[in-house]
Amino acid sequence: MMNLDGQRVLLIGAGGLLGRTFATALIDAGARVLLADRALAAVEELAASLGERTMPAAIDITDADSIRAILALADQTWGGLDTVVNTAYPRNPRYGRRYEEVEYDDFCENLGLHLGGYHLVMQQAALYFRAHGKGGHIVNISSIYGVMQPRFEVYAGTAMTMPVEYAAIKSALIHLSGYVAKYFLKDGVRVNCISPGGIRDRQPESFLAAYDAHAGRIGMLEPQDIASTLLYLLSPASRGINGQNIVVDDGFSL
């Protein structure tokens, strides 16, 4: 178990599948966690279950004022912030259509919400860390589909696909994380990505079997497999890692 005693973490998307597991792992490791999500009720409930080292807050990553308000809240409450983890997953109601059906406006809107939102968080967090003069760490959650082309065959017979917007968003997010790391290199602001493979979440059995055939002995991952990588990245053991993307996928992308 990594020791993150006293680390002050802003966790964005805390109410989601990965976010809830990250929150628990961070609290177990000794961190203080600002649980931020557009869905306030979800993080209020999570904060109530995780206890006094947490604080729930509403945030919209597509709104710079909303991001700045959370950073100011961390200052008021904790006297600063050490780390920002972004695991939000914004999408519009038509997201997830097959390639033939994706309309231009939806493509642009989903890139704006997701990639644009992650850009805004990186920009505001990096400026915050630079202004405070003590450095800081930003961790983004990308995906294996930011580094490999889709295996469309694993979705056969299901209503699922690997959306074209996702490929554009997640590949660009890895590149932009390095861009921001380099831009703020001398300010002590580190920016890294974690790229998970598929996470088990009540998917159809046919999909799970097809997916697992391409991976090692684990196959589809549990959220805890990603949380343990996050703890490593937030620990002093990884202090030399900057501008990198860590793929966690049991070999699916090989």
Ligand X SMILES: NC(=O)c1ccc[n+]([C@@H]2O[C@H](COP(=O)([O-])OP(=O)(O)OC[C@H]3O[C@@H](n4cnc5c(N)ncnc54)[C@H](O)[C@@H]3O)[C@@H](O)[C@H]2O)c1
* Interacting residues with ligand X (CB under 6 A): 12-13, 15-19, 37-39, 42, 59-62, 87-90, 117, 141, 143, 196, 198-199
For ligand X, the closer of residues 4 and 12 by Cβ is 12
Question: In terms of CB distance, is 136 or 198 closer to ligand X?
Answer: 198
The C-alpha atoms of residue 238 and residue 233 are separated, in whole angstroms, by 5
- Smallest gap, in angstroms, from Cβ of residue 78 to ligand X? 20
DSSP code, position 221: B
Q: Which amino acid is at 2?
A: M
- Pair 42, 36: CB distance under 8 Å: no
Bridge partners, residue 12, by sequence:
36, 86
Give me 5's structure tokens. 């005693």
In the complex, least distance from residue 12 CB atom to ligand X, rounded to whole angstroms: 6
Least distance in angstroms from the C-beta of 226 to ligand X = 8
Tell me the HSE value of 26 on the side-chain side, using a 13 A CA sphere: 30
Give whichever of 187 and 208 is closer to ligand X, judged by the CB atom: 208
Which residue is nearest to ligand X, using beta carbons? 16
Taking the complex as a whole, how short is the minimal distance between the CB of residue 118 and ligand X, in angstroms? Answer: 8
CB of residue 113 to ligand X, shortest distance in Å: 6
| Cα 44 from chain centroid (whole Å) | 19
Q: Which of 156, 150, 142 is nearest to 248 (CA)?
A: 142
User: Between residues 168 and 188, which has the closer beta carbon with respect to ligand X?
Assistant: 168
In the complex with ligand X, which residue's Cβ is closer, 4 or 121?
121
